[in-house]
C-alpha cells in the first residue's frame, strides 16, 4: 500500500505519491482522501518575493536552522518558468546542495503549469503528501508574480515575503499583492546600502494597512552570511499559533476553499451571469455606485 509506505517514511513511496498527485485523476483523488486525516502536523512556510531577492539562499539557511533544531524539512520550489528567472531550478538545487545527503531534508521542484501564473493546481495535494509523510516543516518557495502570492496566502500557514534594500517604488508596486499577504517581511541583502531606509519605508506602509490585517514584522537578513536567520526563525515561531493538527487542517481547508470559491465566482460572473454583471457595470459607469459598492451589489453584500 502506497499510503502505508508513505507513512512509514519510505522516500520512494513519497516520490511516487507526489508524481501521482501531479498526474491527477481518480487514483490521486483517492490517495488525497485517504491521507487527509494524517495531515495537519506540518507547518507550511511560504517564502515569496521578487526574482533574485535571495529566497533560495534564505531557504537554504532556514533548512540548516530547522535541522539544527531537530526538525525534518521538505522544500517545494516552484519554477516560474519565466524568461527572467530561467534556470531557477538549477540555481535552487545548487544553493541547497548542502543538504542533499540528509534523509530528513527533501527538496522538489514543481513546474508551474500556468495555473493562474503561479502555483500548480496540485500544490496543495503535494503538501498534504509531505505532511502525511512526516515532514514537520514544509517550505514553499515561489516567485511573486501577480496571482501567485495570493495563492501562497491560501496555501501557506505562515507567509514570508522577501524584499531587498533600495526597492523604493517597487515596494509601492508590491503593495497590492505581496505586501498584503505578509506575516513577515524580510529585508534580505542587508549587507547592501539602504537597509534602514527600506525598513522605515516598510514600517510606514505597514501602518497604513487596514485593521483586518494583523501587523507584519520586519526582519533584516543577510542570507549569504546567515545573519538574521535566528531572528527570522523566531518570528516564524511566534506566528505559529495553531498547534493542533485538526485546527491546522481546518484552517488550511478554509483558506483553500475561500480562494477556489472566489475563482469560481469570477468565472461564473463572466461566463454565466453577464446580465447581472452588466447591470452592476452600468451603475458604476453612470457614477451611481462606486466600484466597491458595485462589487458588493453583485455579491448581495450590504455596503458598510
Ligand atoms: N549581497 C547579497 N547577496 C545575496 C544575499 N542573498 C542572496 N544573494 C545573492 O542573490 C542572488 C540570488 O539569490 P537566490 O537565492 O537565487 O534568489 P531567489 O530569490 O531564490 O531567486 P529566484 O528563485 O531566481 O527568483 C545570488 O547571487 C545570491 O548569492 C545577501 O544577503 N546579500
Ligand atoms: Mg530561487
For residue 262, what pLDDT is reported? 85
Task: Choose between 106 and 81: higher pLDDT.
Answer: 106
Q: At which of 200, 216, 244 does a domain end?
A: 244
Same domain, 93 and 176: yes
Q: What is the mean pLDDT of the chain?
A: 84
CATH of the domain at 219: 3.40.50.300
Same domain, 167 and 189: yes
CA of 48 to the centre of ligand 2 (A): 9
Residue 250 lies in a domain: no
Band the pLDDT of 171: cuts 50, 70, 90: low
Residue 170 lies in a domain: yes
Band the pLDDT of 70: cuts 50, 70, 90: very high
Mean pLDDT of 223-231: 97
Same domain, 186 and 235: yes
Q: Provide the whole-model pTM.
A: 0.87
Sequence-separated (6 or more) residues with CB below 8 Å from residue 248? 40, 41, 43, 157, 242
Q: Are 96 and 56 in contact (CB under 8 A)?
A: yes
Same domain, 281 and 230: no
Mean pLDDT of 174-197: 85
CA of 166 to the centre of ligand 2 (A): 20
Q: Is ligand 1 within 6 A of the CB of residue 57?
A: yes
Same domain, 215 and 113: yes
Element spanning 137, H or E: strand 137-143
Range of the domain at 108: 38-244
**Atom of ligand 1 minimally distant from the CA of 51:** 25
Q: What percent of the chain has pLDDT over 70?
A: 81
For residue 113, what pLDDT is reported? 56
Q: At which of 201, 217, 244 does a domain end?
A: 244
Domain count, the chain: 2
Residue 137 lies in a domain: yes
Which three-class secondary structure state does DSSP give residue 168?
coil
Mean pLDDT of 17-21: 93
Residue 14 lies in a domain: no
The rounded Cα 177 to chain-centroid distance in angstroms is 12
Q: Is ligand 1 within 6 A of the CB of residue 227?
A: no
**Atom of ligand 1 minimally distant from the CA of 223:** 31
Residue 275 lies in a domain: yes
Q: Where are the alpha helices (DSSP H) in the chain?
A: 2-7, 11-23, 26-35, 55-68, 88-95, 123-132, 148-155, 169-174, 180-181, 195-207, 229-239, 245-272, 274-285, 291-298
Same domain, 148 and 267: no
Band the pLDDT of 166: cuts 50, 70, 90: confident
Residue 227 lies in a domain: yes
For residue 117, what pLDDT is reported? 41
**Kind of pairing between the strands at 73-79 and 137-143:** parallel
Cα distances (angstroms) measured from residue 106 to each of 14, 28, 76, 96, 157: 10, 21, 8, 10, 19
Task: Choose between 167 and 257: higher pLDDT.
Answer: 257
Amino acid at each position: 500500500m502506497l499510503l502505508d509506505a508513505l507513512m512509514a517514511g519510505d522516500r520512494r513511496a513519497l516520490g511516487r505519491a507526489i508524481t501521482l498527485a501531479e498526474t491527477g485523476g481518480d487514483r490521486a483523488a483517492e490517495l488525497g482522501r485517504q491521507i487527509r486525516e494524517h495531515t495537519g502536523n506540518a507547518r507550511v512556510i511560504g517564502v515569496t518575493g521578487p526574482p533574485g531577492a535571495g529566497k533560495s539562499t534564505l531557504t537554504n539557511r532556514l533548512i540548516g536552522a530547522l535541522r539544527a533544531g531537530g526538525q525534518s524539512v521538505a522544500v517545494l520550489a516552484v519554477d516560474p518558468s519565466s524568461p527572467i528567472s530561467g534556470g531557477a531550478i538549477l540555481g535552487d538545487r545548487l544553493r541547497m546542495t548542502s543538504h542533499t545527503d540528509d534523509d530528513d531534508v527533501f527538496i522538489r521542484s514543481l513546474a508551474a503549469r500556468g495555473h493562474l501564473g503561479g502555483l500548480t493546481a496540485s500544490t496543495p495535494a503535494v503538501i498534504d503528501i509531505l505532511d502525511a509523510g512526516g515532514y514537520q516543516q514544509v517550505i514553499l518557495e515561489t516567485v511573486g508574480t501577480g496571482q501567485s502570492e495570493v495563492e501562497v496566502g491560501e496555501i501557506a500557514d505562515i507567509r514570508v515575503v522577501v524584499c531587498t534594500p533600495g526597492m523604493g517604488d517597487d515596494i509601492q508596486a508590491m503593495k497590492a499583492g505581496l505586501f498584503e499577504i505578509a506575516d513577515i517581511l524580510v529585508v534580505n541583502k542587508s549587507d547592501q546600502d539602504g537597509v534602514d531606509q527600506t525598513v522605515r519605508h516598510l514600517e510606514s506602509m505597514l501602518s497604513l494597512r487596514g485593521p483586518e490585517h494583523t501587523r507584519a514584522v520586519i526582519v533584516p537578513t543577510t542570507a549569504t552570511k546567515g545573519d538574521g536567520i535566528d531572528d527570522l526563525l523566531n518570528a516564524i515561531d511566534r506566528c505559529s499559533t495553531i498547534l493542533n493538527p485538526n485546527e491546522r487542517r481546518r484552517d488550511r481547508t478554509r483558506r483553500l476553499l475561500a480562494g477556489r470559491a472566489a475563482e469560481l465566482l469570477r468565472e461564473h460572473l463572466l461566463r454565466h451571469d453577464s446580465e447581472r454583471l452588466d447591470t452592476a457595470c452600468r451603475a458604476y459607469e453612470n457614477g451611481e455606485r462606486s466600484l466597491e459598492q458595485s462589487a458588493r451589489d453583485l455579491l448581495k453584500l450590504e455596503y458598510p
